[in-house]
């Protein structure tokens, strides 16, 4: 059968690297990641070091250790470390970009209808503060890359659009967008672009500097096996002097990136242990993990869609071979609003002991499953077997 999808072979031993509850199927790596035990231990050792002598930890060499970590993480992504700063998360990177573009009354910030909800709130607040307006470019779920680029280009207003925010991999719709082409097109029109690469590090073979965006931010705490609170913001040369830290502290006179990274007395141990996450990923084989995760997510998507009677040909295209998150449309009327989607996600968690992502998008409910090295085909098969009855029940 031409469209039969086989699960990938497991990566031996990989499941044992994680401390996840074995009684639960964790099919939602994308939301908050999962930290390998090696990384948890590295962070514990760092915390022990802090508590042994907090003064020595903070006062002697911590800036250098942070810079070393930044260089390591930037190199992994093909980003210039001198134009990059460690930040807590993608949300913080977005806030920094929005603050730094210097919005004024009459300006515009654009997002897309696939954008992350919290990012949309940030855009709306910064626009309201400045008297600017926010808008959204409508991208149909099944739009080709060419159509995506054309729609984005048509929505830009050179001179007025002060920032376009576009996701490298979207959250609710699990779609890889052609961010490099969009950045090129927008640059020709003089419109700055912020790429929200929250899911990219570890999932996609990213070369940040080749994308050519004005701002790029990505999380290492999702697919890069880092402790939560680890992300990298990279800015184009022309923005380096214009980045406005959200919190001003002792490194302010030193400028970017130190003034963004140093946020006074914080727990910096997540950043410092992030390289161990990359060692763990490299130890398994970055390409191998990528291929495994995408193939397993595709397998899961197919078995669940089949169980729900969804025609495989109608499944949305993820927009690239490495996307390790896949969507399944739910029957019409199920989880069509966000509160209903949250309620259904919680029922699946409680009753089927399975963690998934579930959102209302475009007037219908969508289930998102991820693939990760700790997942097994049986976990998706078990969900596929039990989900139809739960959905019937939810509709009553
Ligand atoms: C596209 C996108 N942007 C931003 C975020 C926010 O990430 P964080 O909570 O780490 O800031 C997410 C989280 O899932 C996301 O998917």
- Residues 173-194: tens digit of each pLDDT: 999 999 999 999 999 999 999 9
Percentage of residues in the chain with pLDDT exceeding 90?
97
Centroid of chain to Cα 2? 32
pLDDT band at 394 (very low <50, low <70, confident <90, very high): confident
- Over the chain, what is the mean pLDDT? 97
Residue keyed to tokens 């998008």: 361
**What tens digit of pLDDT does each residue of 111-130 get?**
999 999 999 999 999 999 99
Ligand 1 pocket residue status of 394, Cβ below 6 Å: no
**What tens digit of pLDDT does each residue of 38-96 get?**
999 999 999 999 999 999 999 999 999 999 999 999 999 999 999 999 999 999 999 99
Task: Please tell me the predicted confidence (pLDDT) of residue 5.
Answer: 82
For 72, the token pair is 């390591």
**What tens digit of pLDDT does each residue of 353-371 get?**
999 999 999 999 999 999 9
Measured between alpha carbons, how far is 214 from 207 in angstroms, rounded to an integer?
14
Residues 258-285: what's their mean pLDDT? 98
Ligand 1 pocket residue status of 199, Cβ below 6 Å: yes
DSSP 133: E
pLDDT band at 3 (very low <50, low <70, confident <90, very high): low
Atom of ligand 1 nearest to the CA of 32: 14
Give 12 Cα–ligand 1 centroid separation in angstroms. 30
Ligand 1 pocket residue status of 324, Cβ below 6 Å: no
Task: Please tell me the predicted confidence (pLDDT) of residue 1.
Answer: 39
Whether 324 shows a pLDDT value over 80: the answer reads yes
Measured between alpha carbons, how far is 214 from 98 in angstroms, rounded to an integer?
12
Atom of ligand 1 nearest to the CA of 170: 1
Q: Which residues pair with 326 in a beta bridge?
A: 369
Give 367 Cα–ligand 1 centroid separation in angstroms. 17
Residue among 130, 88, 127, 128 at smallest CA distance from 245 = 88
Give 193 Cα–ligand 1 centroid separation in angstroms. 17
Q: Measured at the alpha carbon of residue 46, what is the angle toward residues 45 and 51, in degrees to the nearest 5?
A: 95
Q: Are 35 and 228 a contacting pair, CB within 8 Å?
A: yes
Q: Are 159 and 313 a contacting pair, CB within 8 Å?
A: no
| 355 prior amide bond cis, ω within 30 | no
Ligand 1 pocket residue status of 322, Cβ below 6 Å: no
Give 93 Cα–ligand 1 centroid separation in angstroms. 10
pLDDT band at 396 (very low <50, low <70, confident <90, very high): confident
Measured between alpha carbons, how far is 317 from 362 in angstroms, rounded to an integer?
16
Task: Please tell me the predicted confidence (pLDDT) of residue 104.
Answer: 98
**What tens digit of pLDDT does each residue of 136-157 get?**
999 999 999 999 999 999 999 9
pLDDT band at 309 (very low <50, low <70, confident <90, very high): very high
Task: Please tell me the predicted confidence (pLDDT) of residue 182.
Answer: 98
Ligand 1 pocket residue status of 168, Cβ below 6 Å: no
**What tens digit of pLDDT does each residue of 220-250 get?**
999 999 999 999 999 999 999 999 999 999 9
Whether 2 shows a pLDDT value over 50: the answer reads no
Ligand 1 pocket residue status of 198, Cβ below 6 Å: yes
Q: Are 22 and 214 a contacting pair, CB within 8 Å?
A: no
């Amino acid at each position: 059968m031409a469209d039969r999808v086989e699960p990938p072979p497991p990566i031996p031993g990989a499941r044992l690297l994680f401390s996840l509850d074995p009684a639960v199927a964790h099919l939602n790596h994308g939301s908050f990641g999962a930290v390998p035990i090696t990384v948890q231990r590295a962070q514990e050792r760092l915390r022990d070091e802090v508590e042994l002598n907090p003064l020595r930890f903070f006062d002697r060499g911590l800036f250098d250790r942070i810079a070393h970590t930044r260089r390591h993480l930037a190199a992994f992504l093909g980003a210039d470390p001198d134009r990059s700063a460690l930040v807590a998360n993608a949300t913080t990177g977005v806030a920094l970009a929005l603050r730094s573009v210097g919005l004024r009354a009459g300006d515009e910030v654009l997002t897309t209808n696939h954008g992350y909800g919290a990012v949309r709130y940030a855009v709306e607040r910064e626009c309201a503060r400045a008297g600017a307006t926010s808008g959204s470019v409508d991208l149909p779920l099944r739009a080709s890359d060419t159509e995506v680029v054309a729609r984005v280009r048509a929505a830009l207003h050179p001179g007025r659009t002060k920032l376009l925010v576009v996701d490298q991999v979207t959250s609710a719709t699990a779609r890889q967008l052609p961010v490099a082409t969009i950045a090129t097109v927008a640059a020709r029109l003089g419109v700055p672009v912020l790429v929200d690469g929250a899911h990219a590090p570890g999932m996609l073979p990213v070369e940040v500097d080749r994308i050519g965006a004005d701002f790029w931010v990505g999380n290492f705490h999702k697919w890069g096996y880092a402790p939560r609170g680890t992300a990298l913001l990279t800015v184009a040369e022309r923005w380096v002097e214009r980045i406005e830290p959200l919190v001003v502290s002792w490194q302010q006179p030193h400028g970017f990136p130190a003034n963004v990274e140093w946020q006074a007395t914080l727990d910096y141990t997540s950043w410092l242990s992030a390289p161990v996450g990359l060692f763990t990923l490299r130890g398994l084989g970055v390409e191998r993990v990528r291929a495994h995760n995408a193939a397993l997510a595709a397998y899961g998507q197919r078995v669940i869609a089949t169980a729900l009677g969804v025609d495989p040909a109608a499944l949305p295209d993820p927009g690239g071979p490495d996307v390790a998150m896949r969507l399944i449309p739910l029957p019409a009327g199920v989880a069509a609003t966000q509160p209903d989607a949250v309620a259904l996600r919680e029922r699946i968690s409680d009753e089927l002991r399975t963690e998934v992502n579930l959102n209302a998008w475009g007037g219908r409910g969508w289930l998102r499953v991820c693939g990760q090295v700790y997942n097994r085909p049986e976990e998706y098969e078990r969900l596929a077997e039990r989900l139809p009855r739960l959905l019937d029940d939810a509709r009553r």
